[in-house]
């Protein structure tokens, strides 16, 4: 493995969220340290050699984050966040989706290559209160850390903020042979990074905190734990890190500038490991890293920070010596040739606050913005027209596929961007070229993953079609139907129904 260690965050510093007018700095919570919550693995309803059956329940609950009153929360098979779901490549998966919330929701499998729009679970796949839905798919993608979250536009941000986010693991035989830690909860640890503001009686108040450029809070929650610690009992830890925040970027580093090794990104294991002392994740990005504690002794403490705020304290205990070395090459990444004759697809992300758009338009549920034939390979150029002075990094996410990053403004991508990705941060004034191929037909979204931006219209839809069926018909959700349902579920007249994203449309004189 290369000895080179990267010591910067790669992204452009003037665009860090610390420069936002509405930036909310993290503050260390003045509460006792608590053991890091590790979401347990969800037990399948049934499993055979070829099929796996799960029931995933979106439910209300109460969660003890701080001393005093419990916080009202939503979660999947849990009071908040969710139990961790495991899928195996090649298995046929059956999932019963149950909604025990007081209002409609959707179940979006962020990072799974599944058919859209109904299995993918964007805004066109509502599950109403007290109802269930069934999805089935055969999984055909490499091992990866992906996630599940609600996606009922324009209520996505509010529902994720309520707690609807869970980690999902994809496993395969290639990853299983690599020398990685994989003992869940012992040396294979999820870190879901989020932030919240606690109001009176320890409650969350999304509307009070609403910001069209993204809701932030001063208190970090790691797997739903405030001020967590983790007992290190092995020399090496594998951390599966997810930026599950609505808006916040995380600039991660350890005390002592301890170097760590990134082995995976959004879509799975990277071709080669990359050693870092600093790692920045934009919203929805994932990184798998291995941390080696061999230079520490029992009683030592190593802290993971974002900027200068501690997130997790790793308390070192006695551990056995581990001489495992990572190979210089981990996995092969496909690099298909671009289909001859296809133009470069150009996507423009513009604006901030209520003015956010893609290609000069706000999202419309029943409008198809682009088409690409299944199996075709096409370059997409994603441009962020924000200026560096006062602009922001827009994390661009695509449903239904994993892409590869080709270049940034014509130059090499960042060193840890050579694997499969479904989300990529685009700096102000930058054009990021990606290579896109859809393996499955369907209608898919692509959008900024600052969740208030997607709710505010920075989103579009692409139809992945086949030669045999170039114009498939889908039953698509419309805004009137959704608003009528929410009005009835909340017991609020239509003209009094509040959804943060709709303010962006109203202030721009547009309709979804």
The C-alpha atoms of residue 413 and residue 434 are separated, in whole angstroms, by: 10
DSSP at 354: G
Helix (H, G, I), strand (E, B) or coil at 497: coil
For residues 9 and 251, is the Cβ–Cβ distance under 8 A?
A: yes
pLDDT of 397 reads 98
Which pLDDT value is given to residue 511?
80
Beta pairing class for 236-243 and 188-196: parallel
CATH 2.60.40.420 fits 22-175, yes or no: yes
Assigned superfamily of 345-474? Cupredoxins -  blue copper proteins (2.60.40.420)
89-143 pLDDT tens trace? 999 999 999 999 999 999 999 999 999 999 999 999 999 999 999 999 999 999 9
pLDDT at 39 over 70: yes
Q: Which of 481, 476, 508, 505 shows the shortest CA–CA distance to 494?
A: 481
The residue-averaged pLDDT of 220-246 equals 98
Q: Could you read off the pLDDT of 455-468 as tens digits, one per residue?
A: 999 999 999 999 99
Question: Which CATH fold would you assign to the domain 188-316?
Answer: Immunoglobulin-like (2.60.40)
Residue found by looking up tokens 């970090």 in the block: 220
Pairing of strands 431-437, 345-350: unpaired
CA 12/CA 35 separation, integer angstroms: 35
Backbone angles phi, psi at 348, to 5 degrees: -115, 120
What are the start and end residues of each CATH 2.60.40.420 domain in the chain?
A: 22-175, 188-316, 345-474
Average pLDDT over residues 300-318: 98
179-195 average pLDDT score: 98
**Rounded distance, CA 409 to CA 112, Å?**
28
Q: What is the pLDDT of residue 493?
A: 93
pLDDT confidence of residue 445: 97
Listed in order, strand segments (DSSP E) in 234-285 are 236-243, 250-254, 260-265, 268-276, 279-281
Residue 509, pLDDT score: 86
For residues 130 and 86, give the distance between their C-alpha atoms in angstroms, rounded to a whole number.
25
Neighbouring CB atoms inside 10 A of 275's CB total 20
What pLDDT is attached to residue 270?
Answer: 98
Query: How many alpha carbons lie under 13 Å from residue 73 in its C-beta half-sphere?
Result: 23
Provide the pLDDT confidence category of residue 1 given band limits of 50, 70 and 90.
low
Q: What is the DSSP string of 391-428?
A: ---EEEEESS--BEEEEETTBPPPTT-SS-BSEEEE-T
């Amino acid at each position: 493995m290369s000895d080179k260690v990267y010591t910067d965050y790669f992204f452009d510093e003037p665009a860090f969220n610390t420069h936002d007018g509405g930036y909310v700095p993290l503050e260390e919570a003045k509460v006792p340290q608590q053991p890091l919550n590790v979401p347990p693995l969800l037990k399948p309803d049934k499993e055979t050699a070829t099929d796996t059956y799960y029931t995933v329940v979106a439910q209300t609950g109460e969660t003890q984050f701080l001393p005093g009153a419990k916080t009202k929360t939503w979660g999947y098979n849990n009071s908040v966040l969710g139990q961790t779901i495991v899928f195996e490549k090649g298995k046929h998966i059956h999932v019963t989706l149950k909604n025990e919330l007081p209002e409609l929701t959707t179940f979006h499998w962020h990072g799974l290559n599944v058919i859209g729009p109904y299995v993918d679970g964007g805004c066109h796949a509502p599950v109403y209160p007290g109802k269930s839905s069934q999805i089935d798919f055969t999984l055909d993608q490499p091992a990866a850390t992906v996630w599940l979250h609600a996606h009922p536009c324009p209520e996505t941000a509010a529902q994720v903020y309520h707690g609807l986010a869970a980690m999902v693991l994809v496993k395969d035989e290639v990853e299983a042979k690599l020398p990685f830690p994989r003992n869940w909860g012992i040396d294979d640890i999820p870190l879901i990074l989020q932030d919240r503001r606690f109001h009176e009686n320890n409650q969350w108040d999304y509307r009070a905190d609403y910001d069209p450029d993204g809701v932030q809070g001063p208190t970090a929650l790691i797997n739903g734990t405030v001020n967590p610690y983790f007992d290190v009992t092995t020399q090496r830890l594998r951390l599966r890190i997810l930026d599950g925040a609505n808006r916040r970027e995380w600039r991660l580093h350890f005390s002592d500038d301890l170097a760590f090794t990134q082995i995976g990104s959004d879509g799975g294991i990277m071709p080669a490991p990359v050693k870092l002392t600093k790692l920045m994740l934009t919203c929805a990005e994932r990184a798998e890293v291995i941390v080696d504690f061999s230079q520490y002794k029992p009683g030592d403490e190593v802290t993971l920070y974002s900027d200068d705020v501690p997130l997790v304290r790793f308390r070192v205990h006695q551990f056995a010596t581990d001489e495992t070395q990572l190979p210089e090459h981990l996995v092969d990444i496909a690099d298909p040739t671009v289909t001859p004759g296809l133009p470069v697809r150009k996507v423009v992300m513009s604006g901030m606050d209520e003015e956010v758009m893609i290609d000069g338009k706000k999202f419309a549920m029943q409008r198809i913005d682009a088409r690409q034939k299944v199996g075709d390979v096409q370059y997409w150029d994603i441009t962020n027209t924000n200026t560096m002075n006062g602009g922001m990094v827009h994390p661009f996410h695509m449903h239904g596929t994993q892409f590869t990053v080709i270049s940034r403004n014509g130059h090499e991508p960042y060193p840890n961007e050579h694997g499969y990705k479904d989300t990529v941060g685009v700096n102000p004034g930058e054009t990021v070229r990606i290579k896109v191929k859809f393996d499955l037909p369907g209608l898919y979204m692509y959008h900024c993953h600052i969740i208030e931006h997607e709710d505010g219209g920075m989103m579009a839809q692409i139809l992945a079609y086949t030669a045999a069926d170039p114009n498939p018909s889908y039953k698509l959700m419309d805004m009137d139907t959704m608003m009528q349902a929410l009005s009835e579920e909340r017991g609020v007249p239509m003209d009094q129904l509040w959804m943060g994203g709709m303010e962006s449309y109203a202030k721009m004189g547009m309709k979804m």
